[in-house]
Amino acid sequence: MQQQNGPRHAAQRGQVGPMGQPVQQPPTWQYPPIPIPQPPGPGRRRPQKTRTRGLLIGLVVLAVLVVGSGVTLLVRNTGDDTPQTTNSPSVAPSETTSESPSPSGSPSSPTPSSPAAPATDEILTANKLYSVGPIAASKCPEPPFAPINFAATQNYYNRLLPCLDRTWSLAMKKAGLGFRAPKAVVYAGKLSSPCGMQRSVRASYCGANATIYLPFAVDNRYYRSNPAYARAVMLNTFAHEYGHHVQNLSGILMASATRQQSMTPNQKLLESRRRELQATCLGAAYLGANAAFIPMRNPLLANWRFLIAHTGDDYARPRVHDHGNRVSNYQWSIAGYNSKQPNSCNTFIADEARVA
């Protein structure tokens, strides 16, 4: 699904870049997930038709439209209680800054040099976000889960949001980056947003107003089909969309969309996969850091592991290679969950094979 909106140039108030400078934010960034197929096995009702809307998202950066994307979700049980991987992404290089030449002046009164603004690639590959180490647990238990009606669904996300705020605000403070909490809006039917009309197809993150949009109908439908599966999907989706907010605050979204402007179509898809797989990894890092408190065990853990093993472009219809295949999604999910730290989520220095 591609949404096109008119160009807007107002900066988002309160946003700061990775070096503390104000960031001009395009108001039409939106990151919706790929449609979620029904799970196999017990608890499954009659299969529902897969949505066939396109998956390329219109990104506006300084009035230029580029490709954007979201997250794919599906599930499979993988066995042991503790996810493992032997092929974790490499750690990001240390961040460095260059200095601009000193302005000309008299020999007796030299003017000190000042740090230059970070290059776009540096924001992506050596962001301060990667320096924080393991993120702190919010120590929040998962809120009561039963999206049987609108109020119950809204209550779930309203109680979950401060938990992620707590963990990520501490991480951003440790990195020396500004923080402001996103909003979480549960809606029924259709809802107008700065990123276009939300149509109860799937959840999305809108960079214009730093808001996660969550359609009640989707959560309720999956809950009626398979409650354990729906629980894993809702928790994982919310953590992933919050990962986009972390990218937004750290300047990664803008830097990635900026360099995407000059890319070929295939390169744009690769860049989209880097963004999406990183958001998935950041979401999994939160789940890993809080595994003992949510808690991630029994049916929830089993369904989450099933989910990350079957997350990817393999299941998208029509098939657009903008989120990464199920192997890449599984590996980055496991890397974030096990390490609990953003530097394991640096998809922007990974070989193409790891973001396939």
Query: Between helices 265-289 and 227-250, what is the axis angle to 10°?
Result: 110
With residue 330 as reference, give the H or E element that holds it.
Answer: helix 326-339
Which one-letter DSSP state was computed for residue 352? G
| 252 vs 244: CA distance, rounded Å | 9
Q: 328 pLDDT exceeds 90? A: yes
Pairing of strands 211-215, 183-187: parallel
Give the residue from 282, 250, 17, 275 showing the smallest Cα distance to 135: 282
Query: What phi and psi, each to the nearest 5 degrees, are found at residue 61?
Result: -125, 110
Give the position of tokens 């986009």.
244
The confidence score (pLDDT) of residue 31 equals 60
> pLDDT tens digits, residue range 16-54?
444 444 344 443 556 655 444 455 444 444 344 433 333
With residue 164 as reference, give the H or E element that holds it.
Answer: helix 150-175
Which alpha helices (DSSP H) does 181-325 contain, by range? 216-225, 227-250, 252-260, 265-289, 298-308
The confidence score (pLDDT) of residue 315 equals 86
Show Cβ contacts of residue 215 under 8 Å, excluding neighbours closer than 6 positions: 186, 187, 188, 198, 199, 200, 201, 202, 203
| 148 vs 193: CA distance, rounded Å | 25
256-270, 281-295, 303-317, 334-348: which has the minimum mean pLDDT? Answer: 303-317
Percent of the chain with pLDDT over 90: 63
| 264 vs 104: CA distance, rounded Å | 41
The confidence score (pLDDT) of residue 318 equals 81
82 compared with 179, residue with greater pLDDT:
179
Q: Which of 118-122, 320-324, 346-350 has the highest mean pLDDT?
A: 346-350
